[in-house]
Structure formats: structure tokens, C-alpha cells
Amino acid sequence: MRTSTATTVVAGLGALALAGTAFAAGAAGHDRHARGRTLEFDTQLSDFFFQDFGPDGVREVTSVQDPLLSPSRGDRNVFEDVLLRHGREVGSGSGSCIVTDVDLEAGVFTLQCDLTYELPGGQLAVQGRTSNAPEKTLAVVGGTGRYVGASGEVTFTELGDGTGTLVIRLER
């Protein structure tokens, strides 16, 4: 596999981690009255961690620059990120994204992501199918505590430097 394709795959997985993280940061700074509103947040990714499942077994990859990185179906990114608001830590987010399809010629891959965010007053659950494009949209599928019944969507835009922006649209 070419390094550029591997780098694209790894960057896309990292960006998904950011998407969920930023969503939680926004929710942490607001109470129930934030529902039905559009919120914007920043986030910082954790160190890169990718499990590369290959013919010789599972290999831990901790660098996007790893020349042996070879994304394929079943590989996954695992993360635990810090949530930020105005540069301050407001919570944490964790989850994983599993590679479900890879088109090496086009440099495109498909992911299924499941994220959970620990926030003051409860947790939020986010999930969905996405790709390695810089902009990703995932669904808010529920929550606990003050976030019981939460729904809506998040749109994350990867900035390419380990950070990103997130627009959160809570319906209820």
C-alpha cells in the first residue's frame, strides 16, 4: 500500500474521534435548554492508536507515518480524547471506528463509529457510518442523566493538525 493512502485512512479515523469529542464538549457547557440549538466546539485528539488486522495477526500502529500500515476491513481506531471549550477541558470522549470498506485506488474508506462522552450530568451516545472525507456527519442517538432522550446530529470538520471544529444540532 502507498504511504499516502495509509496516511489518509489514519487521518480520517483520527478525525472521527475528534467529531465525537467536540460534540461532548458543547453539551457539557449547556443544560437542557441547549436542546433545539446549534452549538460549535473545538477538540484535541488523543495519541494515534490503530489496530491493523493482517494475514500475520493483529499489529498495533501508533504513527500515521508507519510504512507497514495497510488499512483493510475490520481494522479499527480506538481513542480517549479530551473535550475542550474555549481552550478549557470540560469532559472526555471515547470510542472506536471500524473500517468496513477500502477503495485503495480512490484512497477512500468507509467506517462505522460508536462514541460515548462523559459529561457533567450524564453521557451522550453518537454513532454512524462515515468516510475519510474531512467533513463527517454522525447521529446523536441518546444519552443518560440530563441527556436522556437526546437526538440530533453532529458535523465534524478535520483541520489536519490534530484539531477540528464541530457543529452540533440537538433536536431534543
Is 69 inside a domain boundary? no
What are the pLDDT digits (tens) for 108-122?
A: 889 999 988 887 778
pLDDT exceeds cutoff 90 at 66: no
What is the sign of the dihedral through the CA atoms of 129, 75, 23 and 118?
positive
Tell me the whole-structure pTM to 2 decimals: 0.76
The more confidently predicted of residues 99 and 7 is 99
pLDDT of residue 39: 65
Residue 38 counted as domain residue: yes
Tell me, yes or no, whether 141 lies in a domain: yes
CATH number, domain of 25, equals 2.40.480.10
Q: Would 59 be classed as within a structural domain? A: yes
Q: Is 153 in contact with 138 (CB distance < 8 Å)?
A: yes
Residue 111 belongs to domain spanning: 3-63+74-170
- pLDDT confidence of residue 26: 43
Q: Which residue has the higher pLDDT, 22 or 158?
A: 158
